[in-house]
Amino acid sequence: MADQTSNRMWGGRFAAGPDAIMEAINASIGFDRRLAAQDIAGSRAHAAMLAATGIISDSDAEAIDKGLVAVLAEIESGNFAFSTALEDIHMNVEARLKEIIGEPAGRLHTARSRNDQVATDFRLWVREQLDAAGEGLEALMRALLAQAEAGADWVMPGFTHLQTAQPVTWGHHMMAYVEMFGRDLSRVRDARARMNECPLGAAALAGTSFPIDREMTAQALGFDRPCANSLDAVSDRDFALEFLSVASICAMHLSRLAEELVIWSSAQFRFVTLSDRFSTGSSIMPQKKNPDAAELIRAKIGRIFGANTALMMVMKGLPLAYSKDMQEDKEQVFDAADNLMLALAAMEGMVHDMTANRDSLAAAAGSGFSTATDLADWLVRVLGLPFREAHHITGALVAMAERRGCDLPDLSLDEMRSVHPGITDDVYNVLGVENSVNSRMSLGGTAPAQVRAQIERWKAKIG
Ligand code: ARG
């Protein structure tokens, strides 16, 4: 049998302490201790409000506040003896408060329940994570912007199906990721704005008969307003699910960039060189420099999306209002948040440190008949051919170059004319990769001037 301490909170109704296995399945202190700072902030706001509304005396509120500050100091210094018998962070804090200040501690829980307490704590915690994710995203975007700026006009192959498609610029490719992470940033901000309502004062589920001031606590904790419906306030975990959804999409983006870095840093590509700080060696193959950080970032989507799915399944079908199922929300969010922050920081470090190999990029840019579309466009523009016919003629020229084992610009004018007699010397002007990228001046296109415009727009937004 476990000890009897946990019955102190509801001892009136219970004769015996919980079975050890009951205690083990019930306790959340092993992980929700991470909510200590938020729990104490919530309690301080609540106690101040109870005094301001005359529900408890000023002297009790003062004692409670001092005591809570002392408890937090103990927890932060690592000198706090967490008790499993006390189940969760809320009861651990309250029990210790009682030891420190005595009788007034018992008044703190007036007009409150652990249901609105945990919902408040967890919102505060998730809100901090959204802010941290926003900062991590901005740092990563700045690193990508710096790369884009350095190589706004460096040519490289653009791919579809991972087959050479058309030449693009390095800056353009970097800025594609800035767009993705920019959307993540806006999702982070949307989620934060929507979740910033305070559950405190919803009490167990129905509200309270005490004359509390929910605006006051909401404001003290930095919320925009109190949650409007007490049943919803204690049973809503959308804010956690939105965080996990935003984190999942962001982790998916990270995994795509990570995959490109793995490919690009290979000996076959050599598009980028990763710094030693973000690479590892092999214990047996001396030549190896492995992109482990990129591989691990690529994998993080697995656990983050897993957390999203897990919490969605926990919440599915739960009747109103609070059910203990909801205690299962925390570990998923903690793990996802830790790993998202780590992945963002590691990606920022890798992108910041990596060197794009301009020559390898340029050499690859011209291979694989990457300017075939430019040739077809020339046939349309200069000779007035329908695009379908131009496509066909270009295909024949590509096949000819392939047979000869050369690139398109290496075909002689006579060879070209054997396929279409109207072709002139002018065609060679569009077959070079530089010309190709410079010509793609359409809005959002790969021309360096367009890329620089994108860079300027983002720099103005995130500095
Ligand atoms: N540890 C609980 C949780 O994380 C706190 C709320 C408990 N409420 C209750 N009525 N048992 O959800």
Closest CA to 379 of 340, 351, 420: 420
Q: What is the pLDDT of residues 56-113, one digit of tens each?
A: 999 999 999 999 999 999 999 999 999 999 999 999 999 999 999 999 999 999 999 9
pLDDT above 90 for 333: yes
Of the listed 186, 266, 282, 323, which one is catalytic? 282
> In the predicted model, what is the mean pLDDT of residues 298-317?
97
Distance of CA 93 from the midpoint of ligand 1 (Å): 14
Using a 6 Å cutoff on CB, does residue 326 contact ligand 1?
yes
Residues constituting the chain: 463
Q: What pLDDT does residue 9 have?
A: 66
- Written as one letter, the residue type at 90 is H
Distance of CA 32 from the midpoint of ligand 1 (Å): 10
pLDDT above 70 for 150: yes
Please state the pTM of the whole predicted model.
0.92
pLDDT above 70 for 176: yes
Q: What pLDDT does residue 11 have?
A: 64
Q: What is the pLDDT of residues 119-134, one digit of tens each?
A: 999 999 999 999 999 9
Using a 6 Å cutoff on CB, does residue 28 contact ligand 1?
yes
Indicate which residue's Cα is closest to atom 7 of ligand 1: 114
Q: Distance from first CA to last CA of the chain, Å, rounded? A: 60
Q: What is the pLDDT of residues 203-214, one digit of tens each?
A: 999 999 999 999
Using a 6 Å cutoff on CB, does residue 255 contact ligand 1?
no
Using a 6 Å cutoff on CB, does residue 114 contact ligand 1?
yes
Closest CA to 53 of 9, 112, 101: 112
Distance of CA 236 from the midpoint of ligand 1 (Å): 13
Using a 6 Å cutoff on CB, does residue 327 contact ligand 1?
yes
147 three-state secondary structure: helix
Helix (H) or strand (E) holding 16: none
Q: What pLDDT does residue 8 have?
A: 59
Distance CA 375, CA 393 (A): 9
Of the listed 77, 161, 283, 412, which one is catalytic? 161
Q: What pLDDT does residue 1 have?
A: 38
> In the predicted model, what is the mean pLDDT of residues 167-178?
98
Are 117 and 205 contacting, i.e. CB atoms less than 8 angstroms apart?
no
245 carries an active-site annotation: no
Distance of CA 94 from the midpoint of ligand 1 (Å): 14
Are 111 and 210 contacting, i.e. CB atoms less than 8 angstroms apart?
yes
Distance CA 40, CA 134 (A): 25
Using a 6 Å cutoff on CB, does residue 322 contact ligand 1?
yes
Q: Considering Cα of 248, then 318, then 11, then 64, what sign does the dihedral take?
A: positive
Q: Give the number of the atom of ligand 1 that is nearest the alpha carbon of residue 330.
A: 4
Distance CA 358, CA 350 (A): 18
Distance of CA 119 from the midpoint of ligand 1 (Å): 9
Are 347 and 259 contacting, i.e. CB atoms less than 8 angstroms apart?
no
Which 8-state DSSP code applies to residue 280? Answer: B
Using a 6 Å cutoff on CB, does residue 88 contact ligand 1?
yes
Place of tokens 């498609």: 165
pLDDT band at 10; cut points 50, 70, 90:
low
- Written as one letter, the residue type at 28 is S
Q: Give the number of the atom of ligand 1 that is nearest the alpha carbon of residue 28.
A: 1
Q: Omega before 321 cis (within 30°)?
A: yes
Partners of residue 198 on adjacent β-strands? 226
Are 283 and 212 contacting, i.e. CB atoms less than 8 angstroms apart?
no
State the Cα angle at 97 between 91 and 100, rounded to 5°: 145
Distance CA 414, CA 400 (A): 12
Mean pLDDT lowest among 198-202, 221-225, 284-288: 284-288
Distance of CA 180 from the midpoint of ligand 1 (Å): 37
Using a 6 Å cutoff on CB, does residue 117 contact ligand 1?
no
Partners of residue 356 on adjacent β-strands? 272
Q: What pLDDT does residue 203 have?
A: 98
282 carries an active-site annotation: yes
Q: What pLDDT does residue 3 have?
A: 46
